[in-house]
Amino acid sequence: MTNQEDRNVFSTLLTVGGALTAFFIFSMASANAAVDSMVESATIDRIKPFGEVNIGSAPVAVASSGAADGKGTYSASCAACHASGAAGSPKLGDKAAWKARIAQGNSTLVDHAINGFKGMPAKGGNASLSDDDVKAAVTYMVDGSK
């Protein structure tokens, strides 16, 4: 073979070798892309939340008509705990549970209801209540538990 033929063969081998190399590189890249998407999918499945915590809805604000409505405030904001005795709260109408509390005086009960006391959040967790609304609800509960 001549020098020129050698160069052509060498050039052809380089071209074919380069094409094969490029094919190999691109085929590996697409295989890696498939593996990457599978890994990503598996990771998303592994870290997704498995449940939710539902603590109920926010307390309903009582529409103020000027005068505080103790029964309405109780129904909208206080009954969630004081109707069932949740977290040790005294149930409306339970004279024994209210006796010692009533003996502390209305001002103490109103202060505890407005500012919170032990497990009870301030204003029963409904910050939109006015102090007068809370006082009316305490009066309603005390009157219904004597």
In tens, the pLDDT along 60-114 reads: 554 555 567 889 999 988 998 999 988 889 999 999 999 999 999 999 999 999 9
Amino acid at site 21: T
What is the count of structural domains for the chain?
2
- 36 lies in the same domain as 88: no
In a domain, 60, yes or no: no
128 inside domain: yes
Q: Looking at residue 55, what is its pLDDT?
A: 72
Residues 24 and 75 in one domain: no
Residue 7 makes CB contacts below 8 A (sequence gap 6+) with none
Q: Give residue-wise pLDDT tens across range 41-50.
A: 888 887 877 7
User: Which of 2-11, 26-35, 136-145 is predicted with the least confidence, judged by mean pLDDT?
Assistant: 26-35
Tell me what the mean pLDDT of segment 115-139 comes to.
91
Domain containing residue 5: 1-50
User: Cα 93 vs. chain centroid, distance in angstroms?
Assistant: 34
Tell me the C-alpha distance between 115 and 103, whole Å.
19
Residue 55 inside a domain? The answer is no
